[in-house]
A and B are shown apart, each in its own frame.
Chain A
Amino acid sequence: MSRLEAVVLNDRDNVATAVANLEKGAKVELKIGERTFTTELKSSISLGHKFSLRHINKGSPIIKYGEIMGTATKTIEPGEHIHIHNVVSARGRGDLSKEGI
């Protein structure tokens, strides 16, 4: 049984997080619920860093832990590195912390 190289923390997530240093081109096996599928990495991904599980349009939410952790600032393809270069936090929007409950 191969050791998992990346984890998906919630079945709703659209990102996986590397738990080892992964190379560009690696075909990473992932488990989501009962399903296993493979994503090919578009670049190297360091331990602790994220890559996309699917196509994410610019302006769409990045979901980790089943929640919105940020918004895509560019369109992102599966296997792409997800980090500060293509994600923005919602924290600058003070209105979000005061509404919505």
Chain B
Amino acid sequence: MGIIPTVACACDVAHWISNQTHGSVAFLHQQGCCQTKPDLDLVTHTLISLGRNPNLASVLLVSLGCESISLDEVADGIAQSRKPVEKIVIQKLGGASPALAEGSRLARQLVGEASKINRIEVPDSELRFGIKCGASDTTSGLASNPAIGAAADLLIEKGGSCIFGETTEFIGAEHILAQRAASPEVGRRILEIVDRMEKRAIAMGTDMRGGQPTKGNIAGGLTTIEEKSLGAIAKGGTKPIQAVYEYGDIPWGKGLFIIDSPGREPEALTALAAAGAQIILFSTGRGAPQGFPFVPVIKITANPITYQHLPDHMDLYIDITGGASHTSKKAGQTIYEEALKVASGKKTMAEITGYSTATDIYTIGPVI
């Protein structure tokens, strides 16, 4: 049962309600007001998509009352998925305490109803993996990314879907990715989103292409930006890219999709959840700790030190040779089977540790 504030100012109440109501989780963010229209539209769109994520049985929206985002628009958008949606408005109820009381009352009802839902068996093709890499090191490009790519290929072969983003990491290899597009139009879109992301950085005086690979990367063995980006892209597997979607979109159909998103975890994980991922496969080298409130994140590393040193945050260890052409299929199978277990109820370390408040929604323009 998901508790989603429509604006940053409602986050505390949303958080408190989730603390009071076991079986509910809050998605927190810092957006929803004093932004330009394109960003308000993006936030609205993303909130609706988040509410529609299949892992949420029902949603309680928490509004402050004077924010720019339209509570009704978000509620109606989520309600189209036919799940129950309730709303509370803090200013109308009289502030934090009455909002906590009323919100908790509604949340308890929703959790009670959700708890009656029985597990049923569904085919693998119903699964949608979100795929991310973060805190990467040499082991990511060599092993954990290709192994996750093999798991992605497996799901697609079984008729499921996979989504990856982090447009920034395509830079230098976007032409290669474009060649894997299902059509020339999709290829064009891949180049377009990379160009757009790059131009935003240039407008702020940052050359994202010229400084890559970094000195540290070079010392670690990366020779060209193509190589670095290929190592990142490897996590998406080898299947044709069916379509490129915008941030906050829910891809339609099956296969491999790209969502335009930045690489930063708070925004990137949100994009995958908004896109309807029920599980996120997260490749990490140095040990990224983040989970996501209502999508289990499976942390996969090929760095043995990270795996041993950060047990609160790691789920699966892949041998450093796990990305090699003769073993990646087997490593991919291991990851895939873990994903099936998680889909069937096994908890990930991020869920058990409860590490899920560093979330946000991507915006492009200025705060005003």
Interface residue tally for chain B (C-beta within 8 Å): 37
B224, A69: Cβ atoms closer than 8 Å: yes
Chain B residues, Cβ within 8 Å of A32? 325-326
B-contacting residues of A (Cβ < 8 Å)? Answer: 4, 7-11, 13, 17-19, 31-34, 46-50, 62, 64-65, 67-70, 82-84, 87-91, 96-98, 100-101
Q: Is B166 an interface residue (CB 8 A)?
A: no
State whether the Cβ of B218 lies closer than 8 Å to any Cβ in chain A.
yes
Contact A83 B221 (CB under 8 A): yes
B231: chain A residues at CB < 8 Å are 65
Which residue, of A8, A17, A46, A47, has the highest number of chain B Cβ atoms within 10 A? Answer: A17
Known: A7-B324, A67-B230. A89 touches B172 (CB 8 A): yes
* Cα-based distance from A69 to B223 in the complex (angstroms): 9
Binding site for A on B (CB under 8 A): 138, 142-143, 146, 172-176, 178-179, 181, 184, 187-188, 191, 209, 218, 220-227, 230-231, 233-234, 320-321, 323-326, 328
Question: B328: which A residues are within 8 A, CB to CB?
Answer: 9
5 shortest A-B CB distances, which residue pairs? A48-B221, A89-B224, A7-B324, A49-B221, A101-B187
Q: A31-B326, A91-B172 are in contact. Are A82 and B223 (CB under 8 A)?
A: yes
B226 to chain A, nearest CB (A): 4
CB neighbours of B178 from chain A (8 A): 100-101
A101 to B173, CA, bound (A): 13
Which residues of B sit under 8 angstroms from A11, Cβ to Cβ?
A: 325
Known contacts A32-B325, A64-B230, A97-B175; A17 and B221 CB within 8 A of each other: yes
Please determine whether B184 and A91 come into contact, CB atoms closer than 8 angstroms.
no
The 8 Å CB contact of A48, one of B142, B173, B179, B325, is B142
Ordered by A's residue number, 25 sampled pairs between the chains whose C-beta atoms are within 8 Å are A4-B324, A7-B143, A7-B323, A19-B320, A31-B325, A33-B325, A46-B221, A50-B221, A50-B223, A69-B224, A69-B226, A70-B224, A70-B226, A70-B227, A82-B223, A83-B221, A84-B218, A89-B172, A89-B225, A90-B226, A91-B172, A91-B226, A101-B178, A101-B179, A101-B188
